[in-house]
């Protein structure tokens, strides 16, 4: 049976609970939320393509001075040392912490540049009404890589470093820091201004042909029953572009991604990643994360030692920020994901709306745990006064990076709609 294109244009599905909803087009500046689970369905932004194009051009102009010019200079013991973001990464690589250095390199340097190039390419072509065949692929790559770029976390790391060192060193600020701060504002503005649905609709209208998709030979029967999931109506929401398509299609006709009614192997993959991160969390907290050499005498400190240092010096606010980012957030993410995984058991029906909101919160906070790693990267570049004083990463930094990567991965593989499915099938059983 052929899908009814008219019906598909009038409906959409929630990515949080899979409830079928009428496709409402909100006014610019307004957001449509799912009435059942509270997930954002659509967020409209006016002149999104033009604004994103202007912001991406500004971001590209700011990128090179932000990354290569020195951020600041530290002066202590008559020595002075200045560092740019590139310097902090090079020195980190020289310390032989390959996993940590690679993660800092990707999240603070490579991905921010790649994202700016991708979003400039997409918005420039859409603005010019030019539709090369690579456009869906470029926008898909932007969406998938977006959360792994962490310039705003790096900037918070710069602020923490300044507060940490202001009593023991004279600090001079350079043009690189101002350019980098502007770059962070630009990338945050792009995330706010981008209207993904408008971008995808424009790409879809401009494409002469849709992605070819094989069918799974399952008949489509559209049900008019309200408040039921897309899956039960033979429909599937694309994970990448959020287009609703008949679930017998193998690939999404708009972005070309593989179409699954639920994320593939969601539960076993999330369990594996959550257990891995729980395992690595132990050495990440027990082993030293930073080594400070003062007059040749090494002093190794754990994450907790660093937090206690701030509390002893009266910097309660900074101590609380590092405590939240380095201890509270990883533990909350692991416990929260365990609760979500246990909620996928049959007949687990309590607090589903709150649990869906908790899932979105876990996905949002994941990247902020990298804060401590960025502070160490900056300190190792800025405090390099030979015999007198130097800062290096210590073994816990590797385990800590693995915890951050595994919990972020777990938030990507988990599909909250499975919780709602199990609740729904349970109700059905009781009715039967
Ligand atoms: Zn929902
Ligand atoms: Zn798609």
Which pairing describes strands 31-33 and 170-173: parallel, antiparallel, or unpaired? unpaired
Q: State the DSSP code for 367.
A: G
Residue ranges with strand state E in 265-308: 290-294, 297-301
Same domain, 269 and 399: yes
Q: Which residues of 94-128 are buried (b: 16+ CB within 10 A; e: fewer)?
A: ebebeebbebbbbbbbebbebbbbbbbbbbebbee
> What is the pLDDT, as a whole number, of residue 420?
86
- Does a structural domain hold residue 36? yes
In whole angstroms, what separates CA 374 from the centre of its chain? 16
Same domain, 217 and 352: no
Nearest ligand to the C-alpha atom of residue 40: 1
> What is the pLDDT, as a whole number, of residue 177?
92
- Does a structural domain hold residue 374? yes
* Distance from residue 16's CA to the centre of ligand 1 (Å): 5
* Distance from residue 211's CA to the centre of ligand 2 (Å): 10
The number of distinct structural domains making up the chain is 2
Calpha distance 242→364 (Å, rounded): 19
- Does a structural domain hold residue 119? no
- Does a structural domain hold residue 144? no
Q: Could you tell me the CA-to-CA distances from 187 to 104, 370, 408 in Å, in that order?
A: 18, 18, 20
Range of the domain at 232: 5-44+212-246
Same domain, 230 and 316: no
Same domain, 229 and 326: no
Same domain, 356 and 273: yes
Same domain, 275 and 234: no
- Does a structural domain hold residue 290? yes
* Distance from residue 14's CA to the centre of ligand 1 (Å): 5
* Distance from residue 321's CA to the centre of ligand 2 (Å): 38
Same domain, 219 and 282: no
* Distance from residue 412's CA to the centre of ligand 1 (Å): 17
Same domain, 222 and 367: no
Which pairing describes strands 79-83 and 40-43: parallel, antiparallel, or unpaired? unpaired
Contact criterion met (CB below 8 Å) for 112 and 190 = no
In the structure, ligand 1 is a single-atom ion and the residues with CB under 5 Å from it are 14, 16-17, 19, 34, 36-37, 39
Residue 428 sits in a domain whose CATH number is: 1.20.140
Token couple for 140:
């898909």
Please list the pLDDT of the chain residue by residue as tens digits (432 residues): 445 667 788 889 999 989 989 888 888 888 899 988 899 998 888 899 999 999 999 999 999 999 999 988 888 777 778 888 888 888 888 877 888 889 999 999 999 999 999 999 999 999 998 889 899 999 999 999 998 999 999 999 998 888 878 877 888 899 999 999 999 999 999 999 999 999 999 998 886 555 555 565 544 444 444 457 888 888 999 999 999 999 888 899 888 888 988 898 999 999 999 999 999 999 999 999 888 877 777 888 888 888 888 888 777 888 888 888 889 999 999 999 999 998 887 766 678 889 999 999 999 998 888 888 898 888 888 877 666 677 888 889 999 999 999 999 999 999 999 988 877 666 544 443
Token couple for 431:
């009715």
Same domain, 242 and 389: no
- Does a structural domain hold residue 89? no
Same domain, 285 and 424: yes
Q: Which 3 state secondary structure label does DSSP give 190?
A: helix
Same domain, 237 and 302: no
Q: Please work out, in degrees rounded to the nearest 5, the angle formed at the alpha carbon of residue 354 by the alpha carbons of 350 and 359.
A: 115
Same domain, 279 and 410: yes
Q: Using alpha carbons, select from 108, 188, 187, 196 the residue that is nearest to residue 148.
A: 108
Contact criterion met (CB below 8 Å) for 112 and 187 = yes
- Does a structural domain hold residue 132? no
Calpha distance 258→362 (Å, rounded): 25
- Does a structural domain hold residue 66? no
* Distance from residue 224's CA to the centre of ligand 1 (Å): 18
* Distance from residue 196's CA to the centre of ligand 2 (Å): 12
Nearest ligand to the C-alpha atom of residue 239: 2
> What is the pLDDT, as a whole number, of residue 212?
54
> What is the pLDDT, as a whole number, of residue 77?
72
Which pairing describes strands 72-76 and 79-83: parallel, antiparallel, or unpaired? antiparallel
């Amino acid at each position: 049976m052929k899908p009814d294109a008219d019906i598909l244009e009038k409906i959409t599905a929630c990515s949080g609970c899979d409830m079928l909803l009428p496709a409402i087009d909100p006014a610019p500046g307004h957001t449509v939320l799912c009435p059942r689970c509270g997930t954002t369905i659509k967020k409209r932004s006016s002149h999104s393509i033009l604004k994103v194009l202007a912001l991406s051009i500004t971001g590209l102009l700011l990128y090179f001075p932000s990354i290569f010019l020195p951020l600041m200079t530290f002066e202590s013991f008559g020595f002075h040392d200045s560092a740019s973001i590139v310097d902090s990464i090079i020195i980190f690589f020289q310390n032989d912490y390959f996993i940590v250095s690679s993660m800092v390199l990707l999240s603070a340097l490579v991905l921010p540049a790649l994202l700016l190039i991708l979003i400039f390419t997409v918005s420039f072509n859409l603005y010019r009404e030019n539709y090369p065949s690579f456009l869906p692929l470029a926008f898909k790559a932007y969406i998938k890589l977006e959360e792994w770029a962490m310039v705003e976390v790096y900037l918070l790391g710069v602020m923490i470093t300044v507060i940490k060192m202001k009593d023991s060193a004279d600090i001079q600020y350079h043009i690189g820091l101002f350019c980098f701060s502007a770059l962070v504002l630009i990338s945050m503005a792009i995330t706010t201004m981008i209207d993904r649905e408008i971008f995808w609709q424009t790409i879809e209208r401009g494409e002469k042909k849709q992605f070819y998709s094989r069918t799974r030979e399952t008949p489509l029967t559209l049900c008019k029953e309200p408040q039921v999931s897309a899956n039960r109506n033979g429909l599937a929401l694309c994970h990448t572009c959020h287009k609703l398509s008949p679930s017998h299609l193998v690939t999404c006709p708009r972005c070309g991604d593989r179409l699954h009614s639920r994320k593939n192997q969601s539960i076993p993959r999330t369990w594996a990643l959550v257990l891995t991160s729980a395992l690595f969390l132990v050495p990440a907290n027990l082993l030293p994360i930073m080594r400070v050499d003062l007059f040749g005498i090494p002093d190794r400190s754990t994450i907790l030692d660093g937090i206690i240092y701030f509390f002893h010096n009266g910097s309660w606010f900074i101590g609380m920020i590092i405590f939240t980012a380095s201890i509270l957030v990883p533990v909350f993410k692991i416990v929260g994901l365990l609760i979500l995984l246990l909620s996928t058991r049959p007949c687990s029906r309590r607090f589903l709306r709150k649990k869906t909101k908790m899932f979105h919160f876990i996905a949002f906070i994941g990247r902020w745990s990298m804060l401590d790693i960025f502070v160490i990267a900056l300190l190792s570049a800025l405090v390099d006064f030979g015999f007198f004083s130097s800062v290096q990463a210590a073994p816990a930094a590797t385990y800590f990076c693995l915890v951050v990567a595994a919990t972020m991965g777990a938030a990507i593989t988990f599909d909250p709609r499975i919780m709602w499915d199990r609740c729904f099938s349970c109700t059905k059983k009781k009715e039967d």
